[in-house]
Structure 1
Amino acid sequence: MGQMTDLAAVLIVRNEARCLARCLASVKHWVDKVVVVDTGSTDGTVSIALAAGAQVHHLAWPDDFAAARNYALECADAAWNLIIDADEWIEQGGAALRAFCEGGERLGRLCVISHDDTDPSSPQEVRSWITRLIPRGARFTGRIHEQVDSTLPRHDLPVLIGHDGYLTAQRIGKQSRNLPLLLAELAAHPDDAYIQFQLGKDAESYGQHVQACEWYAKALASTPRAPWRHDLVVRHLHCLGQTGRLDEALQLAEAEIPDYAASPDLFFVLGNLCLDSAMIDPTHAISHWIPRAIKAWQTCLAIGERPDLEGSVTGRGSHLAQHNLQTLQDGLASVS
Structure 2
Amino acid sequence: MILTKNEEDNVVAVVENAKKCTDEVLIIDSGSTDKTVELAKEHGAKVCFRAWTDDFAAQRNFALEQTDADWVLYLDADERLNDELIAAVQKVLMEGSEDHQFSMERKSVAFGTKFNHGVLKPDHVARMFPRTSVKWVHKVHEHPECDYPLQELPGHIEHYTYKNWHHWEGKLCQYTTLWAEEAYKRGKRISRSGIFLHSLGGFFKMFVSRAGFLDGWMGTYMCFNHFFYTMLKYLKLYELQNQKKK
Partner of residue 88, structure 2? 96
**Percent identical residues:** 27
Describe the SS at the equivalent of 1:41: coil
Q: Is the 8 A contact 2:108 2:160 kept in 1?
A: yes
- Give the match for residue 286 of structure 1: none
Residue 132 (structure 1) aligns with: 127
Question: In structure 1, which of residues 236, 243, 259 is the aligned counterpart of residue 204 of structure 2?
Answer: 236
Structure index of larger Rg:
1
Q: Which has the higher contact order (CA 8 A, sep 6+)?
A: 2
Q: Which residue in the other structure is 2:146 paired with?
A: 150
Q: What does the per-residue CA deviation read over 1:163-221, in whole Å, with 9 as the maximum and x for residues that have no partner?
A: 11235343232223211111122123356xxxx9xxxxxxxxxxxxx96861574xxxx
Matching residue's letter, 1:155: Q
Query: In 2, distance between residues paired with 1:48 and 1:36?
Result: 11
* Residue-pair matches, total: 203
Which sections of structure 2, spanning at least 5 residues, go unmatched?
A: 217-246
Tell me whether 150-159 or 15-24 shows the greater mean CA deviation.
150-159
Residue ranges of structure 1 left out of the alignment (5+ in a row): 1-9, 197-209, 218-231, 240-248, 254-264, 273-336
Q: Which amino acid aligns with 1:214?
A: H
Q: 1:123 to 1:105 in 2, by over 3 A?
A: closer
* Aligned with 1:189 (options 173, 186, 199): 186
TM-score by length of 2: 0.73
The letter of the residue matching 1:127 is P
Q: Deviations over 1:265-287 (max 9, x none)?
A: 55x859x9xxxxxxxxxxxxxxx
**1:257 aligned partner:** none
TM-score (norm 1): 0.54
**Closer, same or farther: CA 237–65 of 1 in aligned 2, 3 Å:** closer
Q: Mapping of 1:264-279 within 5 angstroms?
A: 265-266=210-211
Distance of aligned partners of 1:33 and 1:178 in 2 relative to their CA distance in 1, 3 Å threshold: same
Distance between the aligned counterparts of 2:102 and 2:199, measured in 1?
Answer: 29
Q: Check the 8 A contact 1:92/1:161 in 2, yes or no.
A: no
* d(CA) in 2 for partners of 1:212, 1:27: 42
RMSD: 2.9
Dislocated runs of 4+, deviation >4 Å: 210-213
Aligned mates of 2:196, 2:32 — CA distance in 1: 32
